[in-house]
């Protein structure tokens, strides 16, 4: 086999690493095959060729390909130097390689950061793949009797020419329900995403997957005293400050996404507390309802940051929408917003950006933290006959065309996930998705994949209180499968690395051990606000929750309508055998009538564009 398949994969991933690329052939001792390892590098630490990958350890014969950052690499390096390791570079890649030589797989327990890497272990004749604890960086793989492929992007595996371009009905079902495929499934049959916090060992053609990190099992017992609460708040303050501080280390220009919301404002404030000069970036909209620029400017002025703002309208979107859609590694109902703020930041000459992602999940910022515990209580006391009666009432004509039928699904327990949380994250209900599938493809969906994942999450949350249960569920579903995946994909498409200090694993473990009651109050996210030594302006601290969202509902009825309407008229050759497209056209009519949310039609627009590009 020539190196061309690998080179094609590397070309597909060039935006992830435009500064350097390399590949190497490794000949295992115990087989007739060979490994072709390749990497594209976005140079952030030690910009010299000393950080070139694949990186070789001449003492062991091991090879490393790696994507991400180990933020405590300085501390680890000092330990390794004390153990006799000599370094040829100043980058974290070499620290990871030598760390594996000294500590083996235990290097995963020591590393604090975001990473996906592959190590060829020459002594054990084993390939090790690993992914960071929270799932910030992805690694996809494809197992075949004659070959094993892995990459940071699904489309890179497709470019190899070895993977059949066939849609996976289970992945498609997952996408239609949640707006993003839930790991470990993907939209392509036989390609899998290594779950967060797991490692994979390949040896002699066989693979074994093992979890190396879990969310904390339960919160610590608290006596409720104010002194104890203040002590824990101080620990959170110190951990957050350290998490931001170690993510400011960079040999290239660094900035901060600043939406004007609480989470990004806290990250910017903690960065300013470190004494660094900071640059902040935001997108503002011509539509007043979505215009957050004034808030972001107010925070920037308060912190003294160098601030840049992009004013964006639907007319600005149309010419560049194709390139944003092309950046999607898997289709997603979200992500376009991240593409454009990343584009703005990169155009300003910045290569690393900090984001406030994860603040809602850890510090109880979503409505789900109040709604889901109530639904859990109702599940416990609502008898079967009451559910049946309520379901019958909801079938009455007066309810038939309600804008949102999720309540009916919950009453009837028709979602199939066993916990009311998942209902809050559904884009389309299971019943509606089932009606969209052609019968033969509906029968091909492996619902056992859902059951296995849900059972594992139920085990993880069993010891937590109601608020921390929601936090665990948000971290392992919407954050991991939508927000983090979109952030990685859309930022790297712009050759920009995004760091997320609020979900540092040390901070995550610390927050999940605190009583959930401490995270709710009259003030939003009281523990996050308390982590600041220098308070932000009162109007920023007290503003209601609002996500960073484009005005899609308005735009889909305006400049975008013709483009989306034309795309949704037909399914295209990839989707025609699987979906009953008349149901999609019906959804579009319901959207225009104001009866369904914009995400339920945008879902099919991005799916059609993605399949036209990657499946035909």
Helix axes 226-246 and 262-273, enclosed angle (nearest 10): 70
CATH code (residue 537) = 3.40.50.620
Q: Give 560 or 398, the one with higher predicted confidence.
A: 560
- For residues 346 and 493, membership in a common domain is answered with yes
- For residues 87 and 121, membership in a common domain is answered with yes
The Cα–Cα gap between 244 and 274 comes to 9
**Residue 50 within a domain:** yes
Domain-terminating residue out of 160, 184, 211: 211
Here the tokens at position 49 are: 């060729």
- For residues 281 and 233, membership in a common domain is answered with yes
The Cα–Cα gap between 337 and 494 comes to 13
Q: Which pLDDT score, from 0 to 100, does residue 295 have?
A: 85
Average pLDDT over residues 423-434: 88
- For residues 204 and 231, membership in a common domain is answered with no
Here the tokens at position 435 are: 């009606």
Binned at pLDDT 50, 70 and 90, residue 456 comes out as confident
pTM of the predicted structure, to 2 decimals: 0.93
Q: H helices of 327-367, where? A: 336-347, 359-362
- For residues 307 and 202, membership in a common domain is answered with no
Domain-terminating residue out of 181, 211, 241: 211
Q: Which pLDDT score, from 0 to 100, does residue 440 have?
A: 93
* CB-based contacts of 397-403 (< 8 A; 24+ apart in sequence): 401/595, 403/594, 403/595, 403/596, 403/597
By 3-state DSSP, what share of the chain in percent is helix, strand and coil, each rounded to 5? 50, 15, 35
**Residue 573 within a domain:** no
Q: What separation in angstroms does the CA of 55 have from each of 23, 64, 196, 253, 492? A: 10, 5, 24, 25, 21
583, 585, 591, 592: CA torsion to nearest 10: -150
User: In degrees rounded to 5, what are phi and psi of residue 34?
Assistant: -155, 160
Q: What total number of domains does the chain contain?
A: 2
201 sits in which H/E element: strand 198-203
- For residues 207 and 286, membership in a common domain is answered with no
Q: Is 581 helix (H, G, I), strand (E, B) or coil?
A: coil
The Cα–Cα gap between 391 and 358 comes to 36
Strands of the sheet containing 191-193, edge to edge, are 147-151, 140-144, 191-193
**Residue 431 within a domain:** no
Transcribe 122-168 into DSSP letters: TTTTEEEEEE-SS--S--EEEEETTEEEEESSHHHHHHTS-S---B-
Q: Is 21 helix (H, G, I), strand (E, B) or coil?
A: strand
Strand duo 147-151 + 126-131: pairing: unpaired
The Cα–Cα gap between 435 and 258 comes to 41
Report CA 152 to chain centroid distance, whole Å: 13
**Residue 561 within a domain:** no
The secondary structure of residue 153, as a DSSP letter, is S
Q: Are 113 and 70 in contact (CB under 8 A)?
A: yes
The Cα–Cα gap between 159 and 92 comes to 29
Tell me how crowded residue 538 is: count the other CB atoms within 10 A of its CB: 8
Q: Which pLDDT score, from 0 to 100, does residue 449 have?
A: 74
Judged against a pLDDT cut of 90, whether residue 459 lies above it is answered with: no
Here the tokens at position 152 are: 């940071």
589 sits in which H/E element: helix 582-592
Tell me the percentage of the chain whose pLDDT exceeds 90: 64
Tell me the percentage of the chain whose pLDDT exceeds 70: 89
- State the first-to-last Cα distance of the chain, in angstroms, to the nearest integer: 25
Q: Which pLDDT score, from 0 to 100, does residue 544 have?
A: 66
- For residues 195 and 260, membership in a common domain is answered with no
- For residues 291 and 160, membership in a common domain is answered with no
Q: Are 516 and 219 in contact (CB under 8 A)?
A: yes
579 forms bridges with which residues in the sheet? Answer: 437
The Cα–Cα gap between 206 and 464 comes to 36
In 3D space, the residue among 514, 467, 516 whose CA is nearest the CA of residue 230 turns out to be 514
Average pLDDT over residues 386-413: 51
Q: Which pLDDT score, from 0 to 100, does residue 398 have?
A: 45
Average pLDDT over residues 464-476: 92
Q: Which pLDDT score, from 0 to 100, does residue 401 have?
A: 40
**Picking from 29-43, 104-118, 503-517, which range would have the lowest pLDDT averaged per residue?**
29-43
Q: Which pLDDT score, from 0 to 100, does residue 415 have?
A: 55
Q: Are 234 and 271 in contact (CB under 8 A)?
A: no
The Cα–Cα gap between 244 and 328 comes to 28
224, 376, 454, 460: CA torsion to nearest 10: 10
- For residues 207 and 230, membership in a common domain is answered with no
In 3D space, the residue among 185, 204, 205, 181 whose CA is nearest the CA of residue 193 turns out to be 185
Average pLDDT, the chain: 89
Domain-terminating residue out of 541, 557, 582: 541
Q: Which pLDDT score, from 0 to 100, does residue 404 have?
A: 42
**Picking from 31-45, 275-289, 443-457, 533-547, which range would have the lowest pLDDT averaged per residue?**
533-547
- For residues 118 and 141, membership in a common domain is answered with yes
CATH code (residue 163) = 3.60.20.10
> Which residues 6+ apart lie within 8 Å of 32 measured at CB?
none
Binned at pLDDT 50, 70 and 90, residue 461 comes out as confident
Judged against a pLDDT cut of 70, whether residue 410 lies above it is answered with: no
The pLDDT tens digits of the residues spanning 294-311 come to 888 989 999 999 999 888
Judged against a pLDDT cut of 50, whether residue 397 lies above it is answered with: no
Instruction: Label residue 332 left, alpha or beta by phi (over 0 means left) and psi (-120 to 50 means alpha).
Output: beta
The pLDDT tens digits of the residues spanning 319-369 come to 899 999 999 999 999 889 899 999 989 999 999 999 999 999 999 999 899
Q: Give 586 or 259, the one with higher predicted confidence.
A: 586
Q: Which pLDDT score, from 0 to 100, does residue 431 have?
A: 85
Average pLDDT over residues 104-127: 97
Q: Which pLDDT score, from 0 to 100, does residue 470 have?
A: 93
Q: Which pLDDT score, from 0 to 100, does residue 169 have?
A: 96
Judged against a pLDDT cut of 60, whether residue 400 lies above it is answered with: no
The three-state DSSP-derived secondary structure of 27-52 is CCCCCCCCEEEEEEECCCCCCCHHHC
Q: Tokens 């371009």 belong to which residue? A: 165
> Which residues 6+ apart lie within 8 Å of 543 measured at CB?
261, 262, 295
**Residue 124 within a domain:** yes
Tell me how crowded residue 535 is: count the other CB atoms within 10 A of its CB: 12
In 3D space, the residue among 174, 176, 169, 168 whose CA is nearest the CA of residue 601 turns out to be 176
**Residue 173 within a domain:** yes
In 3D space, the residue among 437, 485, 418, 412 whose CA is nearest the CA of residue 179 turns out to be 485
Q: Which pLDDT score, from 0 to 100, does residue 429 have?
A: 86
Q: Which pLDDT score, from 0 to 100, does residue 501 have?
A: 97
Q: Which pLDDT score, from 0 to 100, does residue 232 have?
A: 86
539, 359, 601, 340: CA torsion to nearest 10: 80
User: In degrees rounded to 5, what are phi and psi of residue 163?
Assistant: -100, 125
Average pLDDT over residues 443-471: 82
- For residues 94 and 202, membership in a common domain is answered with yes
- For residues 34 and 86, membership in a common domain is answered with yes
The Cβ-side half-sphere exposure at 106, using a 13 Å CA radius, reads 5
Q: Are 37 and 118 in contact (CB under 8 A)?
A: yes
**Residue 371 within a domain:** no
The Cα–Cα gap between 614 and 616 comes to 6
**Residue 184 within a domain:** yes
Q: Is 18 helix (H, G, I), strand (E, B) or coil?
A: strand
**Picking from 203-207, 283-287, 374-378, 402-406, which range would have the lowest pLDDT averaged per residue?**
402-406
Strand duo 352-354 + 254-257: pairing: parallel
Binned at pLDDT 50, 70 and 90, residue 225 comes out as confident
Average pLDDT over residues 588-615: 95
The pLDDT tens digits of the residues spanning 167-190 come to 999 999 999 999 999 999 999 999
The Cα–Cα gap between 88 and 303 comes to 39
In which domain, by residue range, is 63 found? 4-211
Average pLDDT over residues 122-134: 96
Judged against a pLDDT cut of 80, whether residue 393 lies above it is answered with: no
The secondary structure of residue 475, as a DSSP letter, is I
Average pLDDT over residues 473-492: 96
Judged against a pLDDT cut of 70, whether residue 66 lies above it is answered with: yes
Q: Which pLDDT score, from 0 to 100, does residue 46 have?
A: 94
Judged against a pLDDT cut of 50, whether residue 599 lies above it is answered with: yes
């Amino acid at each position: 086999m020539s190196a061309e398949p690998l080179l094609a994969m590397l070309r597909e991933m060039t935006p992830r690493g435009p500064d350097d690329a390399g590949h190497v052939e490794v000949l295992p001792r115990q087989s007739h095959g060979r490994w072709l390892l390749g990497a594209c590098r976005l140079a952030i630490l030690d910009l010299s060729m000393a950080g070139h990958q694949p990186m070789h350890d001449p003492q062991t014969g091991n090879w490393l390909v790696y994507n991400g950052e180990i933020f405590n690499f300085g501390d680890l390096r000092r330990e390794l130097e004390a153990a006799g390791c000599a370094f040829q570079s100043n980058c974290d890649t070499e620290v990871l390689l030598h760390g594996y030589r000294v500590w083996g797989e235990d290097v995963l327990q020591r590393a604090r950061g975001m990473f996906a890497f592959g190590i060829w272990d020459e002594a054990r004749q084993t390939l090790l793949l690993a992914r960071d604890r929270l799932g910030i960086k992805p690694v996809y793989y494809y197992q075949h009797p004659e070959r094993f492929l892995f990459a940071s992007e699904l489309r890179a595996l497709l470019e190899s020419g070895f993977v059949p371009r066939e849609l996976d009905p289970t992945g498609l079902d997952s996408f239609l329900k949640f707006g993003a495929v839930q790991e470990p499934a993907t939209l392509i049959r036989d390609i899998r995403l290594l779950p967060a916090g797991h490692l994979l060992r390949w040896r002699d053609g066989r693979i074994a997957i093992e979890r190396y990190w879990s969310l904390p099992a339960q919160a610590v017992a608290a006596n409720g005293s104010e002194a104890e609460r203040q002590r824990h708040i101080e620990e959170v303050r110190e951990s957050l400050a350290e998490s931001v501080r170690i993510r400011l280390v960079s040999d290239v220009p660094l900035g901060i996404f600043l939406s004007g919301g609480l989470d990004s404002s806290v990250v910017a404030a903690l960065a300013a507390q470190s004494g660094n000069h900071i640059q902040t970036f935001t997108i503002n909209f011509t539509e007043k309802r979505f215009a957050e620029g004034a808030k972001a400017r107010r925070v920037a002025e308060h912190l003294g940051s160098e601030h840049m703002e992009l004013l964006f309208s639907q007319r600005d979107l149309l010419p560049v929408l194709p390139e944003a859609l092309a950046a999607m590694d898997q289709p997603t109902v979200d992500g376009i917003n991240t593409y454009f703020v990343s584009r703005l930041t990169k155009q300003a000459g910045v290569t690393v950006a900090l984001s406030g992602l994860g603040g809602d999940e850890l510090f109880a910022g979503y409505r789900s933290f109040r709604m889901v515990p109530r639904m859990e209580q109702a599940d416990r006391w609502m008898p079967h006959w009451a559910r049946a009666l309520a379901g019958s009432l909801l079938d009455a004509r007066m309810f038939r065309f309600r804008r949102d039928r999720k309540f009916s699904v919950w009453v009837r327990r028709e979602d199939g996930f066993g916990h009311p949380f998942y209902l809050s994250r559904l884009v389309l209900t299971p019943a509606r998705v089932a009606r969209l599938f052609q019968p033969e493809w509906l029968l091909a969906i492996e619902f056992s994949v859902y059951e296995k994942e849900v059972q594992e999450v139920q085990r993880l949350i069993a010891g937590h209180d109601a608020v921390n249960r929601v936090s665990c569920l948000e971290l392992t579903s919407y954050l991991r499968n939508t927000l983090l995946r979109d952030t990685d994909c859309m930022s790297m498409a712009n050759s920009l690395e995004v760091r997320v200090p609020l979900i540092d694993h040390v901070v995550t473990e610390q927050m999940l051990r605190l009583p959930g009651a401490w995270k709710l109050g009259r003030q939003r996210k009281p523990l996050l606000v308390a982590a600041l030594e220098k308070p932000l302006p009162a109007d920023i601290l007290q503003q209601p929750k609002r996500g960073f969202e484009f005005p899609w509902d308005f735009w889909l009825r305006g400049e975008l309508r013709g483009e989306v309407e034309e795309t949704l008229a037909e399914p295209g050759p990839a989707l025609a055998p699987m979906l009953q497209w008349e149901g999609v056209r019906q959804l579009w009519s319901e959207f225009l009538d104001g009866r369904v949310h914009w995400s339920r039609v945008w879902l099919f627009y991005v799916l059609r564009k993605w399949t036209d590009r990657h499946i035909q």
